[in-house]
Structure 1
Amino acid sequence: MVNNQTTTLTKANNTSESLRTTVPSSIIKQFDLTDGDKISWKLEARDSELVIIVAPGK
């Protein structure tokens, strides 16, 4: 299992507030991700913190 990897956010384009990041290759291999796959993002409150859960989409 992969822990504690950090990536950098960059602007998606000049007209949007969206940001992009790179999915680490170890995560790509772990979940057998390929170009065009979807990723789901979920926020959860845990012990008075917000936690981001990222998972392969369906």
Structure 2
Amino acid sequence: MGEITVLSKASTKSRSLRTTVPISIVRQFNLSEGDLLNWEMSAENGEIIIIVKPITRR
């Protein structure tokens, strides 16, 4: 199994949820606070497939 995180409410006024990016992923992709991530989602065989790509700022 991969990394496990917990979903929590983003804020009391939002219906969105948030999770923590595991430190191993942060280090592997040299991510830092304020970086943008592009989320692509699909479903296959009852599973959620999520591809997350860092967006390079220039």
Number of residues of Structure 1 aligned to a counterpart in Structure 2: 56
Is 1:5 the counterpart of 2:3 in the alignment?
A: yes
Which residue in the other structure is 1:39 paired with?
A: 37
Taking a change above 3 Å as real, the CA distance of residues 8 and 56 of structure 1, as seen in their structure-2 partners, is same
5+ long unaligned stretches in structure 2:
none
Gaps of 5+ in 1: none
Structure 1 runs of 4+ aligned residues shifted over 2 Å read: 44-50
Q: Percent identity?
A: 46
> Which of 22, 34, 51 is the matching residue for 2:20?
22
Cα distance, 1:31–1:48 mapped onto 2, change above 3 Å: same
After TM superposition, the score normalised by the length of structure 2 is: 0.78
Partner of 2:52: 54
Name the amino acid aligned to 2:35. Answer: D
